[in-house]
Amino acid sequence: MSRGTAALAGIASVAAALGVAELVAGVLQRAPSLIIAVGDVVIDSVPGWLERWAIATLGRADKPVLLAGILVVSTLIAAGLGILARRRQVLAAAGIALFAGLGIAAAQADPRGAVLLTVLVGVLGAATGIGVLFLLMGVARTGRLPGRAASEAIPVARAEGVAERAGTVDAGRRRFLTVAGGTTALAVLAGVGGFLLSGRERLGELIASIRLPVPVRRAEPVPPGADLEIPGLTPLFTPNEDFYRIDTALRVPIVDTESWQLQVRGMVDEPFTLTYAELMELPQIEADITLACVSNEVGGDLVGNARWQGVPLRALLDRAGVQEGATQLLGRSVDGFTAGFPTITALDLEEAMVAVAMNGEPLPAEHGFPARLVVPGLYGYVSATKWLAAIELTDWDVDGYWIPRGWAKEGPIKTQSRIDVPRPGATVAAGRQPIAGVAWAPTRGIEGVEVRVDDGPWRAAELAERLDVDCWRQWYLPWDATAGRHVIRARATDGRGEVQTDERTPVAPDGASGYPIIEVEVQA
């Protein structure tokens, strides 16, 4: 048997193992996908700089790239196991079992994992893989399917290179390729089927069926002129489907509102637990808040503005009774992510909330369904826990997920501005052209934006009507563009009269700073 044939047998076997594991996980519902589990462990164990690099260079593609990487590595291991199986079939089988064992071990890192179900998924996957390996090795050696008469074909291995028997050899090889290809195709189908069964579809229906309560305190109505509606300018509210997404979850956690609970615990007098129905019965507020990621580069798009609806954190903290020394509020997600910020912030800011809705709709799965934290003025990595499972009151020594990975313990959002129009590097016609963008300094608000073209003076831009200090503000400056290349900069002044700093810093450890600068080409 050639190495290539053996490698194919290995790949088909591991594909069968993974496919069956995914299918079983999908059917069992509460069992994890082993592939995703391995990916999650990779995400949580890579050094902080690598994770930052991945977010910075791959952006939204980071997860597909990681999954593709896992599949490529699995394929290489599978090929190796196939080659090993030529001489040491039992050892190769043990390799597949070990492979499944790693997946089972990885899944233990996920707090949702039911150990027995995980083991079941792994064992069924491994058993299928080993069975397929033995079957394919047999077909490759004998050129026939098990149980078929020996006369049907001669062993491929012995006949290789024997020209006059080529016809029979080809038949044997075809049989092998058919079985290997068929198994792989079935494995892919099983995997896709498992993914579909894993609940995404039904979650969509569940979310669509939720009726939101009317908030007891509504957000201010949007004043006319708050959205300048200039073509190319970021809209005042970011539609949910365009809202940036950043998290460590390789697969969006699927949370069912029947079993979900929110715990308020730790350094409190009266810990308590709320079901989704109970949370939805509490008085809710509405607030317009701009959320930003600490990984957002100057000029980047990891920032968005939404109308959030939910239960004020303050109400939950009052009910629990925060104890002396509980200086940190740590949000913990169903998948074990944590983010912490000063308790005082939650007590001071009445808009800090357990959000259940975004722009008038229940939270989309990607943005934390059924509930998440939203705190004005803090970067998401210290505050905005999605798929919230617990609110823990602790002292300041406990660190959230990102802190040991090279990010600052405190994450106030820096005053920033962004130029949306013209697009960086765009070519525009000479004459009157808009320069426009957004600026944000949540909790402080934006009082001014200035724009400078080349070495000219700083000129005050027109500001859109103010909506709320917690959200970004659009700005606009008409510009008489002259032919040639031009450099445009902007800077914002916050509600305390502080101008955003010119000092350029990288995103780590506490957020990028510096003026946004774009270059444009103006044609006569």
Ligand X SMILES: Nc1nc2c(c(=O)[nH]1)N[C@H]1C(S)=C(S)[C@@H](COP(=O)(O)O)O[C@H]1N2
Q: What does 515 interact with, of ligand X, Mo ion, none (CB < 5 to 8 A by kind)?
A: none
414 binds ligand X (CB under 6 A): no
> What one-character DSSP code corresponds to residue 497?
S
Choose which of 112, 141, 245, 466 interacts with ligand X (CB under 6 A).
245
153 binds Mo ion (CB under 5 A): no
386 binds ligand X (CB under 6 A): yes
Q: What does 341 interact with, of Mo ion, ligand X, none (CB < 5 to 8 A by kind)?
A: none
Give the amino acid at 461: A
In the sheet that 416-421 helps form, which strands lie side by side, from edge to edge? Answer: 416-421, 431-440, 473-481, 462-463
Site for Mo ion in 76-135 (CB under 5 A): none
| Window of 9-17, 237-245, 318-326, 449-457 that interacts with ligand X by CB under 6 A | 237-245
Of residues 292, 290, 272, the one with CA closest to residue 282: 272
| Window of 25-33, 238-246, 267-275, 496-504 that interacts with ligand X by CB under 6 A | 238-246
Instruction: Quote the CA–CA distance of 300 and 290 in Å, as a whole number.
Output: 14
Of residues 400, 266, 374, the one with CA closest to residue 320: 266
Contacts of 310 (CB under 8 A, 6+ apart): 284, 285, 353, 354, 355, 356, 357, 371, 374
293 binds ligand X (CB under 6 A): yes
Contacts of 218 (CB under 8 A, 6+ apart): 286
369 binds ligand X (CB under 6 A): no
Choose which of 89, 108, 168, 248 interacts with ligand X (CB under 6 A).
248
Q: Determine contact, residues 156/136, Cβ cutoff 8 Å.
A: no
| Window of 79-87, 96-104, 286-294, 479-487 that interacts with Mo ion by CB under 5 A | 286-294
244 binds ligand X (CB under 6 A): yes
123, two tokens: 């064992």
> Which residue, 406 or 456, has its beta carbon nearer to ligand X?
406
Instruction: Quote the CA–CA distance of 407 and 401 in Å, as a whole number.
Output: 10
Residue of closest CB approach to ligand X: 380
Q: Determine contact, residues 117/35, Cβ cutoff 8 Å.
A: no
384 binds ligand X (CB under 6 A): yes
Instruction: Quote the CA–CA distance of 184 and 310 in Å, as a whole number.
Output: 47
Choose which of 81, 83, 197, 246 interacts with ligand X (CB under 6 A).
246
* Run of H or E residues at 361: strand 361-362
Alpha helix (H) residue ranges in 250-342:
276-281, 313-320
> Which residue, 51 or 286, has its beta carbon nearer to ligand X?
51
337 binds ligand X (CB under 6 A): yes
> Which residue, 246 or 249, has its beta carbon nearer to Mo ion?
246
| Window of 212-220, 378-386, 434-442, 450-458 that interacts with ligand X by CB under 6 A | 378-386
Contacts of 79 (CB under 8 A, 6+ apart): 7, 8, 10, 11
Residue 281: φ, ψ to 5°: -85, -15
Instruction: Quote the CA–CA distance of 34 and 117 in Å, as a whole number.
Output: 11
> Which residue, 176 or 244, has its beta carbon nearer to ligand X?
244
- Residue 115: helix, strand or coil by DSSP? helix
293 binds Mo ion (CB under 5 A): yes
* Per-residue interface string for the shown chain with Mo ion, residues 213-252, x marking contact by CB under 5 A: ---------------------------------x------
Site for Mo ion in 322-381 (CB under 5 A): 380-381
Quick one: CA torsion of 21, 25, 26, 28, rounded to 10 degrees?
140
Choose which of 22, 40, 247, 494 interacts with ligand X (CB under 6 A).
247
Q: Tell me the site size for ligand X, rule CB under 6 A.
A: 18
> Which residue, 248 or 275, has its beta carbon nearer to ligand X?
248
Residue ranges that bind ligand X, judged by CB under 6 A: 243-249, 291, 293, 333, 337, 367, 380-381, 384-387
Which parts of this chain interact with Mo ion (CB under 5 A)?
246, 293, 380-381
